A and B are shown apart, each in its own frame.
Chain A
Amino acid sequence: AQSVAQPEDQVNVAEGNPLTVKCTYSVSGNPYLFWYVQYPNRGLQFLLKYITGDNLVKGSYGFEAEFNKSQTSFHLKKPSALVSDSALYFCAVRDTTGGGADGLTFGKGTHLIIQP
């Protein structure tokens, strides 16, 4: 079975400072990993993904994430936070050994609050 853990319910960062939102995963095989963002009363929007290749993945709005296989982590990062980055962030995983079944498993989400 696949699972995702986002250990922080909320992360507070001052505007202009770097931010990190943590994610760890568990799969039987190799993972497909995703980050999504949700603004209030909206659906989820895709930020970035890791499938294979370079461990550092760059995505939308200046976000990036680093895949670390030994630590089974996929932390989301941004060098300089903006107030407009305040939202709910979800990490998601799919086990590539699933053969097309099971869909995505999401973490519980992390509220990111950027303080002016």
Chain B
Amino acid sequence: NAGVTQTPKFQVLKTGQSMTLQCAQDMNHEYMSWYRQDPGMGLRLIHYSVGAGITDQGEVPNGYNVSRSTTEDFPLRLLSAAPSQTSVYFCASSSDWNTEAFFGQGTRLTVV
């Protein structure tokens, strides 16, 4: 029972590079979200999706894109990495907004 799987676990990027953080869940959850965690700031919502083909912006969407072509996958794309995007990124899924969210192990991203 894999739950929510994020890849990679660690990544170092140079300023201006692009990359995609992968997130996959095997629980058939409709709701998926991306958060970033920064020291002293808790988790902040970047983008979320309420089902395949439906995405929306969260609190801090600038510099990130998402798509949801399948129920299972919700990749997060960094278009042109900046040092301010150095953070730990978490993907989460749930069957509904009032149910338990399952989190991936996180991706620690450093932009130099």
Binding site for B on A (CB under 8 A): 6, 9, 32, 34, 36, 41-46, 49, 51, 90, 94, 96, 98, 100-109
Contact = CB atoms under 8 A, between A and B. Distances in A.
A11 to B, nearest CB: 16
Given A32-B98, A51-B98, A103-B33, A45 B42 contact: no
B40 A108 contact: yes
Given A43-B105, A108-B40, A49 B100 contact: yes
Given A51-B98, A101-B56, A44 B90 contact: yes
| Residue in A43, A101, A102 with the greatest tally of chain B CB atoms within 10 Å | A43
Chain B, interface size category, equals 20 to 34
A105 B97 contact: no
Interface of B: 4, 33, 35, 40-45, 48, 50, 56, 58-59, 90, 92, 97-98, 100-106
13 contacts: A6-B42, A42-B105, A49-B98, A94-B97, A94-B98, A100-B50, A101-B56, A103-B33, A103-B45, A103-B48, A105-B45, A105-B59, A106-B35
